């Protein structure tokens, strides 16, 4: 009888314990669900990425010490007011070099500055709390947030015997987050094939043909892509070093989780860039445009701007830029290059240091306003020679514009054919005080100051 009573008490205790455990699990699941719902609700009303201007919100070797997310947080309101519609962040997860890493040597995709590994708890940029606070602040200010995704290679694994090489490799990954453990089979060479399209810096090269890798990166409910989107709050993706794997990887990721996507396919060949955007079904940085601008402004020959670029071939897939964290070769009259990309087709990117430190912020803000309010419709190049470049945007639900870039040392004037007949126009940069009236045949004389530009539209 006592045994029966004792067993009954045990069963009651176990039942209560299991109920409490289930309640705790339900609470944790509800908390995560509420967090996901709250994050998505905060993103309601954001404009589609690409309607404004992207800010690359970092540069190589930003100050270490874990304060970068706070720095960005202090600027998102001003950026939004200036016309920025999205910010591109550096890789946010813990990497091999811990507090010193820029994130391009990823170790634990689920450690955002909360686990004591790789020599630190925080990343170079800060803690998980600071990251999510900054992202929420960006959303509240109408800015989308783009994650830098490094999935070609990993770094920081321990040494293990590798049956595919016959020796030891640094492919044993045991992250403290407890998510996405990796071993030799998940890298090249393995049981599927010896390599894919490219390796980077001798790092272990992930094999995207492995189902396990696909599941953890973009397919499972708790994968990297869905966790970054639903829990951390990212709205889009910048894919690093996409030459290292086939374009179907990016396509599958994008089809699974959505969001704006752009790949770093570092190649100046327009046909190659156009092929990749078609195969991946996403945008690409317009390196063809970048190198033509370098040749034009560094070589003092604006006629080069007549050459082909991705934005001319497929404007909806072109992300244009003047500088990024890897390359900064356009140093002569860099503002002229910004006048070019911010008046032409494509989705333009402004580099953090150009905006915050190196160039005239007032002039950049003016060009961003011009891009968002006047630069619509197809593009017609009206004139290009060594020193002068004139083009017009033909307008779409708006008047369009004429941009005049002058790389000479003196004022220049030129008759051009505009979109407007018998219409008063003005220079929206304020560089010229002229307010001419176009002729009935749409022709008008405009001017541009030395080593500068003007942008004309209906008054």
Q: Are residues 192 and 233 in the same domain?
A: yes
Is the pLDDT at 31 greater than 50? The verdict is: no
* Of the candidates 282, 273, 233, 277, the residue with the CA atom closest to the CA atom of residue 253: 282
Average pLDDT over residues 209-235: 98
| Domain presence at residue 98 | yes
- Residues 411, 286 within the same domain: no
Same domain assignment for residues 412 and 280: no
Bigger pLDDT: 92 vs 47: 92
- Boundary-marking domain end, from 354, 375, 396: 375
Residue 284 has pLDDT above 90, yes or no: yes
Dihedrals φ, ψ of 225, to 5°? Answer: -60, -45
Domain count for the chain, please give it.
2
Residue 11 belongs to some domain of the structure: no
CATH number, domain containing residue 444: 2.60.40.1180
pLDDT 10s digits, 291-344 = 999 999 999 999 999 999 999 999 999 999 999 999 999 999 999 999 999 999
How far is it, in rounded angstroms, from Cα 177 to Cα 113? 11
Q: Are residues 324 and 404 in the same domain?
A: no
Say whether both 342 and 408 belong to one domain. Answer: no
The pTM is what? Answer: 0.90
Both 97 and 242 in a single domain?
A: yes
Residue with tokens 């060594």: 386
Instruction: Tell me if 20 is assigned to some domain.
Output: no
Strand pairing report for 260-263 and 236-239: parallel
> How much is the mean pLDDT over the chain?
92
Task: Quote the percentage of the chain above a pLDDT of 90.
Answer: 88
Out of 375, 404, 429, pick the residue that ends a domain: 375
Which of the listed residues 375, 410, 428 is the one where a domain comes to its end? 375
Domain membership of residue 449 as a residue range: 383-458
Q: Are both 369 and 387 inside the same structural domain? A: no
Residue 12: inside a domain: no
207 and 356 housed in the same domain:
yes
CA distance 380 to 76: 34
């Amino acid at each position: 009888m006592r045994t029966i009573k004792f067993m009954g008490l045990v069963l009651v205790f176990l039942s209560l314990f299991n109920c409490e455990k289930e309640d705790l699990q339900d609470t944790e699941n509800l908390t995560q669900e509420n967090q996901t719902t709250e994050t998505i609700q905060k993103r309601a009303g954001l404009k589609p990425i690409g309607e404004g201007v992207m800010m690359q919100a970092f540069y190589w070797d930003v100050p270490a010490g874990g304060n970068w997310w706070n720095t960005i947080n202090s600027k998102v309101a001003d950026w939004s007011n200036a016309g920025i519609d999205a910010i591109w962040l550096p890789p946010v997860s813990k990497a091999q070099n811990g507090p010193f890493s820029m994130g391009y040597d990823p170790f634990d995709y689920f450690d955002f500055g909360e686990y004591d590994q790789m020599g630190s708890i925080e990343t170079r940029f800060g803690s998980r709390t600071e990251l999510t606070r900054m992202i929420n602040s960006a959303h509240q200010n109408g800015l989308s947030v783009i994650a830098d995704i490094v999935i070609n290679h990993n770094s920081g694994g321990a040494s293990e015997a590798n049956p595919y090489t016959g020796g030891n490799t640094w492919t044993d990954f045991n992250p403290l987050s407890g998510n996405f453990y990796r071993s030799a089979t998940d890298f090249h060479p393995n049981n599927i094939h010896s390599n894919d399209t490219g390796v980077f810096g001798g790092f272990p090269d992930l094999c995207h043909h492995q189902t396990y890798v696909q599941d953890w990166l973009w397919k499972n409910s708790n994968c990297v892509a869905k966790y970054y989107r639903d829990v951390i709050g990212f709205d889009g993706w910048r894919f690093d070093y996409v030459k290292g794997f086939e374009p179907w990887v990016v396509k599958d990721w994008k089809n699974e989780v959505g969001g704006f996507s752009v790949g770093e396919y570092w190649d100046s060949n327009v046909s190659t860039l156009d092929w990749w955007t078609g195969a991946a079904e996403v945008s690409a940085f317009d390196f063809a445009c970048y190198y033509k601008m370098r040749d034009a402004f560094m070589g003092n020959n604006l006629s080069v701007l007549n050459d082909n670029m991705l934005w001319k071939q497929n404007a909806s897939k072109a992300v244009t830029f003047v500088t990024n964290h890897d390359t900064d070769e356009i140093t002569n009259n860099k503002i002229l290059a910004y006048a070019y990309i911010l008046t032409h087709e494509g989705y333009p990117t402004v580099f953090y240091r150009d905006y915050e430190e190196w160039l005239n912020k007032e002039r950049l803000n003016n060009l961003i306003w011009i891009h968002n309010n006047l630069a619509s419709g197809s593009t017609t190049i009206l004139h290009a020679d060594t020193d002068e470049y004139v083009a017009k945007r033909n307008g779409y639900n708006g008047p369009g514009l004429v941009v005049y870039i002058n790389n000479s040392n003196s004022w220049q004037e030129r008759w051009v054919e505009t979109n407007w007949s018998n219409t008063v126009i003005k220079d929206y940069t304020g560089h010229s005080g002229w307010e001419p009236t176009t002729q009935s045949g749409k022709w008008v004389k405009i001017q541009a100051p030395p080593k500068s530009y003007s942008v004309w539209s209906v008054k």
